[in-house]
Each structure stands twice: as C-alpha cells, then as structure tokens.
Structure 1
C-alpha cells in the first residue's frame, strides 16, 4: 500500500442539514392563578427524580397534600414575581432563544423548552423531528448537574425520542459551572455592586436537595460524607451536586478576589422534614449579625434566569430575615438573564459540543 495515502488528512464529514439546539429551563406556571400554579406543582413534584419515592406514595403526597394546600400560597408569591411581560423565567428564556439563534446563524435551529409546562420539551423536539436535522444539542440551563434537574431533562428527552423511527445524534451538556464566561458573567454583576458598597460578607446560596439524593449519586458508596469531601472537585465526586456548588463558589471567590473568611456557601428551598444538604441558608443568615456581619452581597449561581428562588426567596424573604436579626444592608446579585456574556457562553457550549 502507498504510505502516502495513509498520511493524507482525513476530511471532515459532510454536513447535510442543520443542528437543533434545545435550551431547557425548569419551568413556570402559565399564570400566577391558583389552577395554573396547582397544575405546575403537580407536574413538577410528580417527577420521580424530584420526589424520589415510589409512585403511589408520591402521588398521594402531591395530589392529596402538597398541590391542594400549597398552590394558593404559592400563587400569592408568584403574583409578587409576575411582571407586565409575565414570568421572568419565560420572558428571559424567549430573549435568549432569539439572541442565541441570531448569534449561531442559519446552520442552527434554536428552541426554548421548559421541563415542566410550556413551551414543552415534546413540542420542541417535534419541531426538530419535522426538519430532518443532522443532530441535536440539548442544553439544560443548570450550571451544576443534579438528578432532579439535568438528569430529569435527559430522561424526558430520551423518553420522547425512543419512539422515533430515526433518531439523530443527540449531545447533552452535562454542566457548565467551570466555563470561564459563566463565571465571569456572575463576577461582572458582583463587581457592579462591590464598586458601590463595602460588604462585610458574601453569600453564595444554591438550591438545596435531600441528602439521600446526594448519597444515591455516590455509586461507589465510599466517597460521599456530605462534609469536607466537597472541599475539592475531582474524579470520584465530579457528579456530586454539592461538590459542584462548592467548586462554583471557589471559582467565583477567585474571580472576585474575596478573602477567606468573608464568604459562605449554603443551600436554600428545603421542603419537608427529611434532612437536606447543609449548611441551610436561613440558619447561616440568622447567625451572621452575631458575627459582626451587617451587610451582605448574595449570589444565586444555581440559576441563570431570575425566578421565584432568586427574586423572591433570596431578594425579599432572606433580606427581611437578615434585617429582623439585626442586619443592615442586603443586596441580591441578579441572574445572568439575557446578558451578552451569557449568550457568548451558550455559543461556546454549542460550538464545542
């Protein structure tokens, strides 16, 4: 055989069609009215990756207790969040969909979907199916991987496409907490507030999860201690949500030049009586004034768009809690929303997928 033939560069495969890009956030009720909130809560909480107990007790819990009694209370809070443009999560999602489409060009088709409610993953994938796409890239809008968020999106996508006669190549973005532009996006927002005020402390609050879900993720059953095992992110704990959150904080602290001792990583939004990952954000807040902390700059780096957990929980409820125990100044750093650097981050994720 002519050796020169073997030395010829391998040409790239021919591109026949377009690439679909499905960007997926958690979801939001269609309106802040009780029936729509109840519908949303049912779909969300009946997901076996969210409440990971057997189907029958899960259904009894959600349909018999949580949805009927929590929906009216949640509806009041959603009304505080709602704006003239509707849900901020969906509003920013549609802007990002449009901006990302423009940035990527006509070789790509970008669709926004929500894991729960509308626009649905099913509708987005159905659009892709009709277009005869070469491949599909799925980007769950969760910087850190968790079974209840990213894992649930994976499962939903696979449940839908398993029935297709032709399944194109599908690539999933697992996480993006280490992406330099993601970190710089939050750092830019933080610097804006740090330039105007000398904060005593910096709080990095992430959505919580039950401890049992973290332990389930330790397939070796030897690594997870729910403690200092999260002090670094490495091969054996790389899929641990808690460890990824602590790593996100470390990267942001470095980008913002925050000294040791002036920041805390903590977890919010716990539900029920089972233990959730610690430290709890409300416990941390209540202890801060006793440590001489009277001003806090609060980040929510588990969310890329403002929502109930950022605007209301961290921005309003935790602010009131801090002031009740003697705190003087509390400031929430908004999410990336539709910022140019967030669009740049997504372009990079698509191009390297």
Structure 2
C-alpha cells in the first residue's frame, strides 16, 4: 500500500487465531490459587447465584479455605516448566503456528489467569490481525466454558477504537477428526498395558443439572462424544460408562459421579479399569490430580487392583491435526 507523506506506518494485515483454555494459577501457592479462584468463581457464567448471596460466601468463606487445599493439589502435578495445562496449550499454539505460518498468526490465552484473552487480542491487533478466530479448547459446548470465552473476547473489543472482525469457533464434540484422535490416544495407551481393563470410564467435567433443564446442550454433547467414541472403539455402553466429575457446591449436578462410579465398580468385583476424560484436550488438575491420583486411590481403597488414567490429546500430532482442520473450517473465506 502506498501511503501519503507523513502517514503513520501501517502493519501488514493478517488473520489471527487465538486458542483459549480454561486457565491455571501462576504457581502452586495459596496466594496464587486464591487470585485465580477469585477470578474464576466471580464469573457469572460459572456461578450464577444472586451476588448478594454468592459474594459474601466467596470472599468470606471459600477464598479463605479452599486456596490452601487446592494449592496442595496443584503442587502434586506441577512441573519444572510450570502448569501442565499452560505448557501443553503453549506447545500446541507454537506447533500450530509453525504448521500454518503462511496463513495465520497463532497465539494462546487463558480464560482465567495469564495470559488473558484481552492481552492477547490486543497484541494480535497491534501485530496487524484485522480478522481473529477464537478457538475455545472445549470439545463440548457449555455456558460456563464456551460462552464465557465468547463473553471475554467480545468484552475486550469494547475498548478498541478499530475492532478486528471476530469469529468464535464452534464446538467439536462430534467432529470425526476429534473422535479419531481420541481413538488413537486410547488405543495407544491401552495397548501399552500388560493387562486389559474390564471397564473404561468416560469421565466428563460436571455441571449443575439445572443447566440442562435451562437449555445448555453440554450433557447432550458429552453423550454424543461418548457414543461416537464407543462406536469407534467397538465398546459397549456397559464396558464404557459415562460419568461426571469435579462437583462443586450442594446443588444437584449431572451424574453419575465419577468417584462413585469408580468405587462402585471396585466394590462390585471389577479389578481392572481405565478412565478417559474426553472433555479435556490437555491434562490438568482435574485429570492428573483428581483422576490419575485421586481416582487411583479410590479404586485401590475399594478393592481394585489395576488402574490407568488415559492421557489427553495434549500436544500430540493428532491434536495439531485436529486444530489445523478446525481452523481451516472455521476461518473459511479468510484463509
């Protein structure tokens, strides 16, 4: 572009791709976890109780009790490079950026914690991205995850004088490439064992059951993912039951609960199980501490003998293949 004399320089325009995961504290300490939980649990998409009820409970009780306990859990999974979730998400962004360097500029953000969606959207805009695709790394849509990412992305645009065009990628719970990636991961993990599981639990993050009644498709998306994965693996419903983990609060949540399912199988005589978490694309607190550590302990204490937590897609080649296909589809007309 030929500019008139004295005109400020204009960065070449490009298409940006911002992949977004849930988030993580900066360190496995009570102070860092408190800061993270304050942001997470203040999101009305996550906890939608009236503020006059929730705010005193959050700041008067929860944030004074839970951070120290959660920090101990994070310490069990922390690596030399830091949070596994941030590490895998950053690795995926780098790999996808290298693969699609001639088409898009790739970055990553966390819905809660750092780097924030706002920070990375502004950085992309400054680098010349006039069209940005936001990819929430949640296979199944939920108002407390997918919708919250969209809220944060569009909120960030409010303070921009010149806004980029913005798209938010659709969920990919039934995408054939996603199901194929899950099949490959499960197959590789199970074939490496010197024993065969009697059950493979498909554990998804739980949400309040009320959300289903109010029209959130999350439960339906989880069941469809499970059905397609069973079909791909040749598993029956009995062999691969669905369960829901990470319940928080006293409200009724989706069930059956994963911990109760693990315990019930062991008490019923099942001695060898595996647990797969198809709602998470990267290993994190919920998969590494709650399932791989806590689930294994529950199974052993209830009479079980062999337990395997199947890893998430993480930064595997199949994960990069999946994201490349998603970006090509969702950014159609831009690249």
Do both proteins adopt the same fold according to a TM-score greater than 0.5, normalized to the shorter chain?
Answer: yes
Note if 1:284 corresponds to 2:261. Answer: yes
Give 4+ residue runs of structure 1 displaced > 3 Å after superposition: none
Note if 1:305 corresponds to 2:282. Answer: yes
Paired position in structure 1 for 2:209: 211
Note if 1:265 corresponds to 2:242. Answer: yes
| Contact 2:16–2:124 under 8 Å retained in 1 | yes
Note if 1:169 corresponds to 2:162. Answer: no
Distance in 1 (alpha carbons) for counterparts of 2:322 and 2:254:
29
Paired position in structure 1 for 2:43: 47
> How far is 1:17 from its partner?
2.8
- The correspondence of residues 333-344 of structure 1 with structure 2, limited to 5 A, is 333-344=310-321
> How far is 1:349 from its partner?
0.8
> How far is 1:55 from its partner?
2.3
Paired position in structure 2 for 1:234: none
Q: Which runs of 5+ in 2 are unaligned?
A: 1-11, 331-335
Which string of whole-angstrom CA distances, capped at 9 and with x for unpartnered residues, describes residues 37-84 of structure 1? 100010000100101112232221211111110000011111111011
Q: 1:293 aligns with which of 270, 283, 297?
A: 270
What is the TM-score when the length of structure 1 is the normalising length? Answer: 0.87
Task: Report the aligned-residue RMSD.
Answer: 1.3
Paired position in structure 2 for 1:86: 82
Distance in 2 (alpha carbons) for counterparts of 1:193 and 1:163:
47
Note if 1:248 corresponds to 2:225. Answer: yes
> How far is 1:307 from its partner?
0.5
Paired position in structure 1 for 2:4: none
| Contact 1:314–1:332 under 8 Å retained in 2 | yes
Distance in 2 (alpha carbons) for counterparts of 1:332 and 1:179:
23
Distance in 2 (alpha carbons) for counterparts of 1:330 and 1:166:
53
Distance in 2 (alpha carbons) for counterparts of 1:341 and 1:193:
14
Note if 1:128 corresponds to 2:105. Answer: no
Paired position in structure 2 for 1:199: 197
Paired position in structure 1 for 2:301: 324
Distance in 2 (alpha carbons) for counterparts of 1:39 and 1:182:
33
What is the TM-score when the length of structure 2 is the normalising length? Answer: 0.91
| Contact 2:201–2:273 under 8 Å retained in 1 | yes
> How far is 1:212 from its partner?
1.8
> How far is 1:158 from its partner?
0.9
Q: Which runs of 5+ in 1 are unaligned?
A: 1-15, 219-238
Paired position in structure 1 for 2:150: 154
> How far is 1:131 from its partner?
2.8
Paired position in structure 2 for 1:37: 33
Which string of whole-angstrom CA distances, capped at 9 and with x for unpartnered residues, describes residues 104-149 of structure 1? 1133111110000101111101112213323110001101000110
Distance in 1 (alpha carbons) for counterparts of 2:34 and 2:218:
28
Please state whether the residue corresponding to 1:134 is helix, strand or coil: strand
Please state whether the residue corresponding to 1:98 is helix, strand or coil: helix
Which string of whole-angstrom CA distances, capped at 9 and with x for unpartnered residues, describes residues 237-275 of structure 1? xx5101111111111111111134211101000011110
Distance in 1 (alpha carbons) for counterparts of 2:190 and 2:110:
34
